[in-house]
């Protein structure tokens, strides 16, 4: 597959948009069947469970906890990656909470204290009836009043005509009209307002209060500029319920709870403790701040969610409240790759098609492609991803492709095409960078260069990128010793990596790193590039610079190095290898323990050789260009490792284990 650059027509800045160009002859290769589908002809034949909680896939333990919590009305803290089904679980919980106890909440004027309206709870469905009944009787009064007023005015006008006092009669009629407008029937002022309506609700309420400001969350009282002369709206009619009240007897869901202000969290906490919360105007400058209702019931179950960082912004007492009166759940981002779980993924596709309602169902070969993609996205050979919101995106775009082609069923070809079109922002950045680097010959996959190495990194979740790292070693300028000068956005990581490998460099090269000023540069680094897997690359570039041995530019590498010189596993192995292949690299060195995670797309399989590495010596053997200097270095490394090995075995013989 190639990429072509298109210019957007409407934009004056002529922004370039990368669009995948599908080669005519790009062969569509069928993959091995992932499941035995038996009689199933498409995802249409798969039954979708009616309850949301039963539709959640891959979180069996979390579902157990949620079910237990629903029974006992306990709070929940769900921690996990975005799109793994946290809000789905919370919605599912609301569906299994008992809904018989649902209530409507009414607010009444208080004749004794207008600014302190009264609250009444009635069984769900009753609220509307009460409001209708009081409004009905007020309407009757109003009609009676209008009738009497009309009659009196007519009588005055007639009498005025009879006695020739027309002007006096008109003035009297106008006065009576004014007075009648001013007199509002008592009943009308007394009719309540329905604050929370649960009429005809089949399930307990679910309120998503993510990002809600204090007013929306805790309730508010509207401002009224006509406060004097009895022209204003009665206080109780200006009271608006908050989400905590609407979630009464149901679930209040808050994602990223740590981003709420401490004050709001504090208020939320007191609402949770008291199970009722009075509504007052949230703005001090508004006339609403003078009003404070009687306490309004808000007996909700809190489901808070987010990633681990969210805990930092979370009120300590809030976390302790959840821990003490509920459960904390850490959600998985992948599940084991078993036939059972593959079947669940197939059901997931059926669910997404049903929920979308606009796309056709999936044929077995398309389901196979989705399972394979779930495997690839997990980043592990024996796992399937649970980041199902993203995978749902692929399901929908595959459906869109099928519709565009007028197909009745989505096939594997549609899924493959959708994968090319529905690339994430990060993947598009990676594609653009690969293209630009090729265009400007920034990655030269040929020959040897001293101190320049093709590192590999990932952007976002799963987009690989070749990230060249250059190192230069010069004798230290200062008497206090050499410095590590790291430029580019990953300077801190470079510094740490060089410090970490300084002992290894000393061991392998016999040179003290503090005798040198070492410059390390990440060439053309992009925002969001993850860098902890660059330590092997940095060490290689520095050793090459110090020893003046060229690095093979047809090779790229990735791996995390520990202070002992072992190459440790990294994330995103597949994406990195594919990016290297895309950039014309011929060989890639990856940590041995990552070999099981490699799931290359078919087209890359013959493009690149993958070499597993366990130690820095393995890396240097495979990446440095042969010559006398390399041979000397490798010889020294071998001697060192055999010395270490013999020392270990000797000490083992001399000092047998005591326990
Ligand atoms: N485990 C799952 N089982 C079935 N469908 C899922 C699962 N996870 C996600 N989905 C699908 O993805 C959609 C989005 O998931 P959801 O909003 O629950 O994710 P989230 O974890 O709450 O994400 P965020 O933290 O970004 O809000 C769901 O509506 C559902 O269609």
What confidence tens digit (pLDDT) does each residue in 263-317 have? 999 999 999 999 999 999 988 877 778 899 999 999 999 999 998 888 888 998 9
Judged against a pLDDT cut of 50, whether residue 530 lies above it is answered with: yes
91 lines ligand 1 (CB under 6 A): no
255 lines ligand 1 (CB under 6 A): yes
Q: How far is CA 70 from the centre of its chain?
A: 25
**CATH class of the structural domain 444-633:** alpha beta
Ligand 1 centre to CA of 177 (Å) is: 62
| CB of 241 closer than 8 Å to CB of 279 | yes
378 lines ligand 1 (CB under 6 A): no
Ligand 1 centre to CA of 499 (Å) is: 42
Q: 357 falls in which pLDDT band (50, 70, 90)?
A: very high
Distance CA 298, CA 77 (A): 19
56 lines ligand 1 (CB under 6 A): yes
Sequence-ordered strand ranges (E) for 476-561: 484-487, 516-522, 529-530, 550-552, 555-557, 560-561
87 lines ligand 1 (CB under 6 A): yes
- Residue-level pLDDT at 589: 95
- Residue-level pLDDT at 22: 41
- The residue among 308, 456, 411 whose CA lies nearest residue 43 is 411
Q: How does pLDDT run across 374-396, given as a tens digit for each residue?
A: 998 888 888 999 999 999 999 99
Q: How does pLDDT run across 113-152, given as a tens digit for each residue?
A: 988 999 999 999 999 999 988 877 667 777 788 888 888 8
> What is the percent of the chain with per-residue pLDDT over 70, rounded to a whole number?
85
- The residue among 266, 269, 272 whose CA lies nearest residue 248 is 272
Pick from 61-70, 257-266, 434-443: least confident: 434-443
Ligand 1 centre to CA of 82 (Å) is: 8
Q: 438 falls in which pLDDT band (50, 70, 90)?
A: low
Sequence-ordered strand ranges (E) for 137-256: 193-196, 206-208, 220-221, 239-240, 251-255
Decide which of 265 and 227 is more confident: 265
- Residue-level pLDDT at 16: 39
Name the DSSP class of 528. Answer: T
Mean of per-residue pLDDT scores for the chain: 83
- Residue-level pLDDT at 7: 39
Distance CA 75, CA 83 (A): 21
Ligand 1 probe mutation, 83, 254, 331, 391, most atoms within 8 A of CB:
83
Ligand 1 probe mutation, 357, 387, 388, most atoms within 8 A of CB:
388
88 lines ligand 1 (CB under 6 A): yes
Decide which of 98 and 618 is more confident: 618
- Residue-level pLDDT at 14: 39
| ipTM of the prediction greater than 0.85, yes or no | yes
550 lines ligand 1 (CB under 6 A): no
CA–CA–CA angle 535, 540, 543 (5° rounding): 125
The contacts of residue 40 (CB under 8 Å, 6+ apart) are 46, 346, 364
The contacts of residue 207 (CB under 8 Å, 6+ apart) are 243, 244, 246, 247, 250, 251, 252, 253, 300
- Interval 189-210 mean pLDDT: 90
- Residue-level pLDDT at 527: 53
Alpha carbon nearest to ligand 1 atom 18, residue: 85
Judged against a pLDDT cut of 80, whether residue 17 lies above it is answered with: no
Which strand (E) or helix (H) includes residue 33? none
CATH of 2-58+334-422, one of 2.30.110.10, 1.10.8.60, 1.10.10.10, 3.40.50.620: 1.10.8.60
Ligand 1 centre to CA of 358 (Å) is: 19
- The residue among 238, 237, 217, 192 whose CA lies nearest residue 300 is 217
57 lines ligand 1 (CB under 6 A): yes
Decide which of 140 and 254 is more confident: 254
Looking at 86, 246, 576, 630, which residue is catalytic? 576
- Residue-level pLDDT at 119: 95
Per the annotation, the verdict on 576 as an active-site residue is yes
Decide which of 650 and 287 is more confident: 287
303 lines ligand 1 (CB under 6 A): no
- Interval 634-648 mean pLDDT: 62
In order, the DSSP letters of 521-554 are EETT--TTEE-GGGHHHHHHHHHHHHHT-EEETT
Q: 334 falls in which pLDDT band (50, 70, 90)?
A: very high
- Looking at the DSSP bridge assignments, the partners of residue 104 are 122
Ligand 1 probe mutation, 85, 93, 257, most atoms within 8 A of CB:
85
Looking at 293, 467, 533, 617, which residue is catalytic? 533
- Residue-level pLDDT at 645: 47
Name the DSSP class of 464. Answer: E
Ligand 1 centre to CA of 89 (Å) is: 8
Per the annotation, the verdict on 378 as an active-site residue is no
Alpha carbon nearest to ligand 1 atom 5, residue: 56
Q: 2 falls in which pLDDT band (50, 70, 90)?
A: very low
Ligand 1 centre to CA of 372 (Å) is: 20
- Residue-level pLDDT at 138: 66
- Interval 84-112 mean pLDDT: 91
Decide which of 165 and 589 is more confident: 589
- The residue among 111, 247, 85 whose CA lies nearest residue 187 is 111
- Residue-level pLDDT at 613: 94
55 lines ligand 1 (CB under 6 A): yes
The tokens describing 242, both together, are 């908050």
Alpha carbon nearest to ligand 1 atom 14, residue: 389
391 lines ligand 1 (CB under 6 A): no
Distance CA 33, CA 294 (A): 64
- Residue-level pLDDT at 417: 92
Sole residue written with tokens 């290898």: 577
Bridge-based pairing of strands 193-196 and 103-108 is antiparallel
- Residue-level pLDDT at 245: 96
- Residue-level pLDDT at 6: 39
Ligand 1 atom with the smallest distance to the CA of 57 is 3
Ligand 1 centre to CA of 538 (Å) is: 39
- Interval 513-532 mean pLDDT: 70
Alpha carbon nearest to ligand 1 atom 7, residue: 85
Judged against a pLDDT cut of 80, whether residue 364 lies above it is answered with: yes
- Interval 207-230 mean pLDDT: 84
Cβ-count burial of 145 within 10 angstroms (0-12 exposed, 13-18 middle, 19+ buried)? middle
85 lines ligand 1 (CB under 6 A): yes
- Interval 572-593 mean pLDDT: 91
Distance CA 378, CA 368 (A): 16
Ligand 1 centre to CA of 218 (Å) is: 27
Decide which of 167 and 22 is more confident: 167
Ligand 1 centre to CA of 518 (Å) is: 47
Ligand 1 centre to CA of 156 (Å) is: 72
Buried b vs exposed e over 633-656: b needs ≥16 C-beta within 10 Å? Answer: bbeebeeeeeeeeeeeeeeeeeee
Pick from 147-156, 182-191, 560-569, 577-586: least confident: 182-191
Sequence-ordered strand ranges (E) for 348-495: 383-385, 448-450, 452-459, 463-475, 484-487
- Residue-level pLDDT at 1: 35
Q: Report whether CATH 3.30.1300.10 matches the domain 59-124+197-331.
A: no
Distance CA 318, CA 264 (A): 11
389 lines ligand 1 (CB under 6 A): yes
């Amino acid at each position: 597959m190639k990429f072509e650059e298109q210019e957007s027509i409407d934009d004056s800045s002529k922004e370039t948009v990368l669009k995948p160009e599908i080669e005519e002859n790009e062969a569509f290769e069928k993959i091995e069947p992932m499941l035995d589908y038996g009689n199933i002809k498409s995802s249409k034949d798969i039954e979708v469970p009616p309850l949301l909680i039963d539709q959640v896939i891959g979180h069996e333990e979390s579902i157990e906890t949620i079910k237990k919590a629903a029974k006992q009305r306990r709070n929940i803290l769900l921690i996990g990656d975005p799109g793994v089904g946290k809000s789905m679980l919370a919605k599912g919980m609301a569906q299994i909470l008992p809904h018989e106890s649902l209530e409507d909440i009414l607010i009444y004027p208080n004749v004794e204290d207008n600014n302190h309206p009264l609250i009444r709870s009635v069984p769900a469905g009753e609220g509307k009836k009460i409001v209708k009944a009081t409004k009905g009787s007020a309407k009757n009064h109003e009609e009676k009043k209008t009738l009497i007023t009309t009659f009196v005015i007519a009588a005055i006008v007639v009498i005025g005509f009879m006695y020739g006092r027309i002007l006096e009669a008109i003035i009297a009629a106008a006065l009576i009209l004014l007075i009648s407008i001013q007199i509002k029937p008592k009943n009308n002022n007394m009719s309540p307002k329905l604050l929370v309506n649960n009429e005809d609700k089949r399930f307990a309420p679910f309120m998503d209060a993510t990002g809600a400001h204090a007013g929306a969350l805790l309730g508010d009282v509207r401002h009224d500029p006509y406060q004097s002369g009895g022209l204003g709206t009665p206080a109780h009619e200006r009271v608006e319920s908050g989400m905590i009240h609407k979630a009464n007897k149901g679930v209040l869901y808050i994602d990223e709870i740590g981003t709420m202000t401490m004050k709001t969290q504090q208020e939320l906490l007191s609402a949770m403790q008291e199970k009722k919360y009075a509504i007052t105007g949230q703005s001090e400058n508004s006339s609403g701040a003078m009003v404070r209702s009687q306490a309004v019931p808000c007996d909700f179950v809190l489901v808070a969610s987010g990633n681990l960082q969210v805990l930092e912004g979370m009120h300590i007492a809030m976390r302790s409240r959840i821990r003490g009166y509920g459960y904390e759940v850490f959600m998985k981002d992948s599940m084991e790759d078993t036939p059972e779980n593959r079947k669940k993924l197939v059901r997931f596709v059926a669910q997404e098609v049903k929920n979308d309602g606009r796309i056709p169902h999936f044929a077995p070969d398309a389901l196979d492609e989705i399972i394979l993609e779930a495997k690839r996205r997990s980043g592990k050979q024996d796992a399937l991803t649970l980041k199902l919101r993203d995978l749902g995106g692929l399901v929908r775009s595959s459906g869109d492709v099928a519709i565009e082609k007028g197909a009745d069923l989505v096939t594997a070809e549609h899924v493959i095409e959708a994968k090319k079109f529905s690339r994430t922002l990060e993947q598009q950045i990676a594609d653009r960078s690969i293209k630009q680097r090729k265009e400007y010959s920034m990655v030269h996959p040929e020959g040897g260069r001293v101190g320049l190495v093709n590192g590999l990194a990932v952007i976002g979740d799963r987009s690989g990128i070749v990230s060249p790292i250059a190192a230069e070693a010069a004798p230290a300028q200062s008497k206090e010793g050499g410095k590590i000068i790291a430029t580019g956005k990953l300077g801190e990581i470079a510094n740490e990596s060089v410090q970490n490998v300084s002992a290894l460099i000393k061991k392998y090269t016999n040179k003290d790193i503090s005798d040198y000023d070492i410059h390390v540069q990440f060439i053309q680094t992009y925002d969001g590039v993850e860098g902890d897997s660059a330590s092997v690359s940095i060490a290689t570039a520095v050793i090459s610079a110090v020893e003046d041995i060229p690095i093979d530019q047809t090779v790229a590498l990735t791996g995390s190095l520990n202070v002992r010189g072992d190459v440790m596993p990294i994330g995103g192995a597949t994406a990195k290898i594919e990016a290297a292949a895309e950039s014309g690299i011929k060989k890639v060195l990856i940590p041995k323990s990552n070999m099981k995670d490699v799931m290359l797309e078919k087209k890359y399989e013959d493009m690149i050789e993958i070499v597993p590495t366990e130690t820095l010596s393995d890396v240097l053997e495979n990446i440095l260009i042969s010559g006398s200097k390399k041979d000397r270095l490798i010889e020294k490394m071998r001697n060192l490792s055999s010395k270490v090995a013999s020392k270990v075995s000797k000490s083992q013989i001399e000092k047998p284990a005591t326990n």
